[in-house]
Amino acid sequence: MTKRDLVLRISDETRLAQQQVLEVVQKTLDYITEALAKGETVELRNFGVFQAKVRKARIGRNPNAPAVDVPIPQRTIVKFKAGKEMREAVTKLPSANP
**Residue 96: per-residue pLDDT:** 65
When computed from its CA atoms, the radius of gyration of the chain, rounded to whole angstroms, is 19
* Residues in the chain, pLDDT under 70: 96-98
**Residue 65: per-residue pLDDT:** 87
Which residues are within 8 A (CB) of 81 and not within 5 positions of it... i.e. 6 or more apart? 48, 49, 51
Which residues are within 8 A (CB) of 14 and not within 5 positions of it... i.e. 6 or more apart? 21
Tell me the three state secondary structure of residue 58.
strand
CB 38 within 8 A of CB 46: no
**Residue 62: per-residue pLDDT:** 86
Architecture of the 41-92 domain: Irregular (4.10)
**Residue 21: per-residue pLDDT:** 97
**Residue 98: per-residue pLDDT:** 54
**Residue 71: per-residue pLDDT:** 93
CB atoms under 10 Å from CB of 21, counted, come to 19
pTM for the full predicted model: 0.78
